[in-house]
Amino acid sequence: MVVKVYGSAMAACPQRVMVCLIELGVDFELIHVDLDSLEQKKPEFLVLQPFGQVPVIEDGDFRLFESRAIIRYYAVKYEDKGTKLTGTTLEKKALVDQWLEVESNNFNDLVYNMVLQLFVFPKMGHKSDLTLVQNCADKLEKVFDIYEQRLSKCKYLAGDFFSLADLSHLPSLRFVMNEGGFAHLLTKRKSLHDWYLDISSRPSWKKVLDLMMMKKSDMSTGPAKEEVKV
Amino acid sequence: MATPVKVYGPTLSTAVSRVLACLLEKDVPFQLQPVNMAKGEHKKPDYLKIQPFGQVPAFQDEAITLFESRSINRYICDKYGSQGNKGLYGTNPLAKASIDQWIEAEGQSFNPPSSILVFQLAFAPRMKLKQDENLIRQNEEKLKKVLDVYEKRLGENQYLAGDEFTLADLSHLPNIQYLVNGTDRAELFTSRKNVERWWGEISGRESWKKVVEMQTSPPPS
């Protein structure tokens, strides 16, 4: 039975789950949830995810939400299948978890607020708060200074191996580098930029970008669900 | 007896107390290392070596230096699995996943609005800082929506992840402690029957009572 991932190929949190499943070699079915029409806030969806957010996964009878909980679960379940995304020792696992928490608590919200102000609010007819966007960018500079320091000492965040911690950053970094318009925050920091080029060139991430492009061009006439054979 | 682990930061910090609660649940001896935040000690080079973001807590044992309270807690549970509260982080992968789901919900949905309210309502007055009424109002509304989801969940389950107290419930203790006992917004929790029942149970645990005692007793001279 294939894992069902409810979400949109265009949204960051479902992308986090998809890139992880592809790294692990786990087949899944993406069931599109139309975020523009607020499908995720409708009663039928709230049964699956009570906070009205994507993604949520269904694996047989087992249901799980929160993208970082989902990737932690599958990375351990399939640790002998595809890429080993958690560490091989207790200490390495803890470092992966630490940097995953850093992504979640020190990095994610800054980019999320930029996305809201620059793209979501205008779509809804609200004005963007460009001062807030600049504040987020300023804070991101300080965070990136710390990442630069770390990545000048190790190839990846948790050490010398690619892990959930690096993977978790991909969706938001893609935004920052592209339509977010803040690529210079990375390009002026050599180790950080090299790290980004490395992790974003992984076949798993390229596959997610393909799904994103397919969805963009299929928006009005595309299939409701896509089975992804890894 | 094992060398006590070290926890850096003041007991009044919500994130520090999140780690202390876990250490007490797991019967892991620890030594508190004070960090004088009023004097900016957390932003000085010596501390930044341990925690480069200049935040508390940081954690050290003989094997590792770690930061981020929720990852410190997961590490403690994995390392000391066979002692103290054995089921705190689940005893099988599905249970662990459910606990992680609610730890993430705490971190992503509950913590942001509740932290802002803790700062604005409990700390700002003490620090003689002006409160931001708009910010308070916005975050109260956000928190109410989250607590409505919790109310439903806790009507179906004893605790967030199931029948037992876990890291997911524990993660909520610090912020709710301040909001219920340090501000006039207790009613956010007490007006919701299931949330109120759950809060009474989790805050009544010996481990949490000990943390509160540590927060309210004067620092050693």
Q: What is the pLDDT of residue A49?
A: 98
Interface mutation vs chain B, best among A61, A88, A91, most B CBs within 10 Å: A91
pLDDT at A148 exceeding the cut of 70? yes
> pLDDT tens digits for A74-115?
999 999 998 999 999 999 999 999 999 999 999 999 999 999
Assign A123 a pLDDT band (cuts: 50, 70, 90).
confident
Q: Do A69 and B107 touch (CB under 8 A)?
A: no
Q: What confidence tier does B219 reach under pLDDT thresholds 50, 70, 90?
A: low
pTM: 0.96
Per-residue buried b or exposed e for A137-169, using 16+ beta carbons within 10 Å of the residue's own CB: beebeeebebbbebbeeeebbbbebbbbbbbbb
Residue with tokens 């230096």, as numbered in its chain: B65
End-to-end CA distance of chain B: 26
More confident residue, A169 or A228: A169
Whether B113 and B143 have beta carbons less than 8 Å apart is answered as yes
Residue A222, pLDDT > 70, answer: no
Record: contact B68-A94, CB cut-off 8 A: no
C-beta atoms surrounding B9 within 10 Å: 27
- Identify the closest residue of chain B to A144 by CA–CA distance: B53
Residue A10: burial class (beta carbons within 10 Å; 0-12, 13-18, 19+)? middle
Whether residue A101 contacts residue A82, with contact meaning beta carbons closer than 8 Å, is answered with no
Rounded Cα distance, A3 and B13, in Å: 40
Tell me which chain B residues have a C-beta less than 8 angstroms from the C-beta of A90.
63, 75, 78-79
The alpha carbon of residue B157 is apart from the nearest alpha carbon of chain A, in Å, by: 14
**Predicted confidence band of residue A221 (pLDDT cuts 50, 70, 90):** low
Query: Hey, of A3, A13, A105, A106, which one would you mutate to test binding to chain B, going by the most B CBs within 10 A of its CB?
Result: A105
Question: Is A219 touching B (CB cutoff 8 A)?
Answer: no
Q: Does the pLDDT at position A228 exceed 80?
A: no
pLDDT band at B1 (very low <50, low <70, confident <90, very high): low
Sorting pLDDT into bands at 50, 70 and 90, what band is A230? low
Task: In whole angstroms, give the CA distance from residue B172 to residue B159.
Answer: 12
Q: Which residues of A touch B168 (CB under 8 A)?
A: none
Residue B9: which region, alpha, beta or left (left: phi > 0; alpha: psi -120 to 50)? left
Q: Is A112 on the interface with B (CB under 8 A)?
A: no
Q: For an interface test with A, which of B68, B94, B175 has the most A Cβ atoms less than 10 Å from its Cβ?
A: B68
Asked if A132 reaches chain B (Cβ–Cβ under 8 Å), the answer is no
pLDDT digits (tens, 9 = 90+) for A8-26: 999 999 999 999 999 999 9
Across chain B, mean pLDDT equals: 96
Q: State the complex-level ipTM.
A: 0.96
- Band (pLDDT 50/70/90 cuts) for residue B13 is very high
Task: Report the b/e string of B25-60 with b at 16+ CB within 10 A.
Answer: bbebebebbebebeeebbeeeebeebbbbbbbbbbe
Burial class from Cβ neighbours inside 10 Å (0-12, 13-18, 19+) for residue A229 reads: exposed
Q: What pLDDT shows up at residue A57?
A: 98
A68 in contact with B, Cβ within 8 Å: yes
Residue among A51, A90, A101 whose CB faces B71 most closely: A101
Which tops the pLDDT comparison, A215 or B165?
B165
Strand A56-59: give its sheet, edge to edge: A62-65, A56-59, A3-7, A28-32, A225-228
Give the mean pLDDT of B137-157.
98
- Does A149 have pLDDT greater than 60? yes
Whether residue B217 has pLDDT greater than 90: no
The residue type found at B206 is: E
Q: Do A50 and B152 touch (CB under 8 A)?
A: yes
Residue for token pair 């066979």? B82
| Predicted pLDDT at A1 | 81
- B75-79, B123-127, B141-145 — which is least confidently predicted? B123-127
φ, ψ of residue A121 to 5 degrees: the values are -65, -45
What CA–CA distance (Å, rounded) separates A111 from A180?
9
Q: Does A113 touch chain B (CB under 8 A)?
A: no
CB contact under 8 A, B105 and A90: no
pLDDT score at B154: 98
